[in-house]
Amino acid sequence: MNNNYSISQATSLFISKVYGWMALGLSITGLVAFYTANSPYMINLLFGTPGLLMVLMLVNFALVISLSAAIHKISTTTAQMAFIAYSALTGLTLSSVFLVYTMSSIAVVFFLAAAMFGAMALYGHFTQADLSEMGSALTMCLFGIILSSFVNMFLQNSAFDYALSFFGVIVFTLLTAYDAQKIKMLAHAASTHEDATKLSITGALTLYLDFINLFLYLLKFMGKKRD
């Protein structure tokens, strides 16, 4: 019984670390995005320098892939710094959100995204149903969204973009439940305290990406643009 209690304690501690790191990442992203959007110098630098925004997006993509792939090889401190750097860079690239949409609609969509994310994360954590079978289908849907978004960059079809945003909301809502359950299982995969800390960062990164994408697709679907 004591052993079961210790396992339960370790799982709870791991989950709290995951959501703690996720909350930190979202806070950094929000603060950096808000500061950048309200700084004429940063806006001129970011959007006035040809190719800079694309370079930052590529660096960010490379950083998240590298962090996920090398998590067992790098030190805990490196993993933590990489996650913080990724969150800050995401804030830079998402600063345009404050320039395109009204503050009131950003706030409404943020709280709606938080409510949807929280409900699905709780479901994924506590449900007795096995959600692992959704993994392959959701991964295929995710690749479909990425490919469709790339194609629509050239088509510039607003109706298609609207439908894609709706589909994106559904996919990332389901991914939240799937990933929350997967992270609960991940708590038992760590053999040392260092492993647990590094795995909590990758878990936080996964949920962070779910929330950011859910928020962005909701914003494209429901957000009110500035005049």
- CA 66, 70, 71, 74 torsion-angle sign: negative
d(CA 159, CA 136): 28
User: What's the whole-number mean pLDDT along residues 56-77?
Assistant: 89
Q: Does the structure show a pLDDT above 50 at 1?
A: no
Q: Does the structure show a pLDDT above 90 at 149?
A: no
**What does the pLDDT look like over 184-217, one tens digit per residue?**
888 777 667 788 888 899 999 999 999 999 999 9
d(CA 71, CA 74): 6
**What does the pLDDT look like over 96-121, one tens digit per residue?**
999 999 999 999 999 999 999 999 99
Band (pLDDT 50/70/90 cuts) for residue 127 is very high
Give whole-number Cα distances, 92 to 24, 43, 50, 83, 120, in Å. 16, 10, 15, 15, 28
d(CA 17, CA 200): 6
Q: Which two tokens stand for residue 11?
A: 């799982």
